């Protein structure tokens, strides 16, 4: 069976934990400059980007190379996709050329159609709906910094985003309580929360950032204006009270960490003093994208995990 990596909600905790454990091991190996002989030698990953990326693009490229494989970087616009060739036909053709596809496109349905028609693994490198690779790196960062995700409280303040949706998917699997503070018009869809709750997720949704952050072990936010959003000015006005400021951060647990998937906008969703302060682990998160991509690739190729 082909191993696609499309959403955290598709997997059991043991599979996801296996990928994270494998990523932590691969990180240690890389640090000691003892890279195992590349398990993906002779394999090629096609990377399709329909929207900009720094971290996802570079970390997948480097991860594939670290595992001994090769990469091809593509954009939809420079392929026949940009002139109307179907996703399904593109999936069939790429399946004859390369060994896996990582795609970033805002339309989640395109990723699902690609996976449904490909005979090789497809990895979701971000859609408007979710960002599973990012949140797996965030969970890895939490485990490194705090030992475990179990029994912890994660507070999200600000707009809903694809990253928050993947955090919601992770909540029932990783044993943490998720407290979300978002204004009603930028809150996550209730059905996503209901589904996670039905899977055992402890998720609270409100509009008070102080209530969400009080006592939290981990405070997370995201940019107020994501790719594809067209109401930037309104978002800035409505989301102002949700900024992660030093004052807000002081309400969290004294050992709390601050996370942000990046790119960040200091002065908007996060105060510079928090972003660059001692509780911020944003650079660990960014580095862990590299190690988690190795874990995901290894899992997709059957080199790790169940
Ligand atoms: N966090 C994240 O996915 O970064 P990029 O958009 O730079 O890939």
Whether 261 lines ligand 1, by a CB cut-off of 6 Å, is yes
State the pLDDT at residue 229: 86
Rounded to the nearest whole angstrom, what is the distance from the C-alpha of residue 117 to the centroid of ligand 1?
26
Residue 82 confidence (pLDDT) above 90? no
Whether 51 lines ligand 1, by a CB cut-off of 6 Å, is no
Decide if 291 is catalytic. Answer: no
| pLDDT tens per residue across span 233-258 | 999 999 999 999 999 999 999 999 99
| pLDDT tens per residue across span 93-108 | 999 999 999 999 999 9
Residue 24 Cα distances to 30, 60, 132, 141, 189, angstroms: 10, 16, 17, 10, 33
Q: Which atom of ligand 1 is nearest to the CA of 125?
A: 3
Residue 295 confidence (pLDDT) above 80? yes
Q: Which atom of ligand 1 is nearest to the CA of 126?
A: 3
Q: Which residues of 75-112 are buried (b: 16+ CB within 10 A; e: fewer)?
A: ebeeeebeeeeebeebbeebbeebbbbbbbbbebebbb
Residue 32 confidence (pLDDT) above 80? no
Residue 169 confidence (pLDDT) above 80? yes
SS (H, E, C) the chain: CCCCECCHHHCCHHHHHHHHHHHHHHHHHHHCCCCCCCCCCCCEEEEEECCCCCHHHHHHHHHHHHCCCEEEEECHHHCHHHHCCCHHHHHHHHHHHCCEEEEECCCHHHHHHHHHHCCCCEEECCCCCCCHHHHHHHHHHHHHHHCCCCCCEEEEECCCCHHHHHHHHHHHHHCCEEEEECCHHHCCCHHHHHHHHHCCCEEEEECCHHHHHCCCCEEEECCCCCCCCCCHHHHHHHHHHHCECHHHHCCCCCCCEEEECCCCCECCCECHHHHCCCCECHHHHHHHHHHHHHHHHHHHCCCCCC
Q: Which atom of ligand 1 is nearest to the CA of 104?
A: 8
State the pLDDT at residue 197: 98
Rounded to the nearest whole angstrom, what is the distance from the C-alpha of residue 53 to the centroid of ligand 1?
5
The confidence band for 52, taking pLDDT boundaries of 50, 70 and 90, is very high
Residue 280 confidence (pLDDT) above 80? yes
Q: Whose CA is nearest to atom 6 of ligand 1?
A: 53
Whether 54 lines ligand 1, by a CB cut-off of 6 Å, is yes
Whether 134 lines ligand 1, by a CB cut-off of 6 Å, is yes
Decide if 55 is catalytic. Answer: no
Residue 305 confidence (pLDDT) above 90? no
Taking the C-alpha atoms of residue 83 and residue 74, their distance in angstroms, rounded to an integer, is 15
More confident residue, 286 or 1: 286
Residue 57 confidence (pLDDT) above 90? yes
Q: What is the mean pLDDT of residues 205-227?
A: 96
Q: Whose CA is nearest to atom 1 of ligand 1?
A: 261
Taking the C-alpha atoms of residue 168 and residue 170, their distance in angstroms, rounded to an integer, is 5
Rounded to the nearest whole angstrom, what is the distance from the C-alpha of residue 198 to the centroid of ligand 1?
30
State the pLDDT at residue 172: 98
State the pLDDT at residue 100: 98
Residue 208 confidence (pLDDT) above 60? yes
Q: How large a percentage of the chain has pLDDT more than 70?
A: 97
Taking the C-alpha atoms of residue 10 and residue 289, their distance in angstroms, rounded to an integer, is 20
Q: Which residue has the tokens 């053709």?
A: 93
Q: Which atom of ligand 1 is nearest to the CA of 133?
A: 3
* Mean pLDDT for the chain overall: 95
Q: What is the mean pLDDT of residues 4-27?
A: 96
More confident residue, 158 or 38: 158
26, 43, 55, 104: which is the annotated catalytic residue? 104
Residue 185 confidence (pLDDT) above 80? yes
Taking the C-alpha atoms of residue 120 and residue 45, their distance in angstroms, rounded to an integer, is 10
Q: What is the mean pLDDT of residues 12-18?
A: 97
Whether 117 lines ligand 1, by a CB cut-off of 6 Å, is no
Pocket test for ligand 1, best of 50, 51, 52, 55 (most atoms within 8 A of CB): 55
Q: What is the mean pLDDT of residues 26-55?
A: 86
Residue 37 confidence (pLDDT) above 70? no
């Amino acid at each position: 069976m082909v191993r696609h990596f499309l959403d955290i909600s598709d997997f059991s905790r043991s599979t996801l934990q296996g990928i994270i454990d494998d990523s932590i091991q691969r990180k240690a190996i890389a640090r000691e400059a003892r890279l195992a002989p590349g398990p993906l030698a002779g394999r090629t990953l096609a990377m399709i980007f329909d929207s900009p990326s720094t971290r996802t693009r570079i970390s997948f490229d480097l991860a594939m190379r670290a595992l001994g494989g090769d990469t091809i970087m593509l954009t939809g616009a420079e392929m026949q996709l940009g002139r109307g060739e179907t996703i399904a036909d593109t999936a069939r053709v790429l399946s004859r050329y390369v060994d896996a596809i990582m795609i970033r496109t805002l339309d989640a349905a395109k990723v699902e159609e690609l996976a449904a028609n490909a005979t090789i693994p497809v990895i979701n490198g971000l859609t408007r709906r979710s960002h599973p690779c990012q949140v797996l790196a965030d969970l890895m960062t939490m485990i490194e910094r705090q030992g475990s995700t179990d029994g912890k409280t994660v507070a999200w303040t600000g707009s809903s985003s694809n990253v928050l949706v993947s955090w919601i998917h992770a909540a029932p699997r990783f044993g943490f309580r998720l407290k979300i503070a978002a204004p009603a018009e930028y809150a996550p869809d209730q059905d996503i929360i209901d589904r996670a709750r039905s899977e055992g997720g402890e998720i609270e949704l409100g509009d008070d950032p102080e209530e969400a952050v009080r006592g939290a072990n981990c405070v997370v936010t995201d940019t107020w204006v994501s790719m594809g959003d067209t109401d930037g000015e309104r978002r800035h006005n409505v989301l102002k009270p949700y900024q992660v400021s030093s004052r807000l951060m002081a309400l969290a647990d004294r050992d709390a960490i601050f996370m942000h998937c990046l790119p960040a906008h200091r002065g908007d969703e996060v105060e510079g003093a928090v972003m660059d302060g001692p509780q911020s682990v944003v650079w660990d998160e960014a580095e862990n994208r590299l190690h988690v991509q190795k874990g995901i690739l290894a899992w997709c190729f059957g080199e790790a995990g169940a």
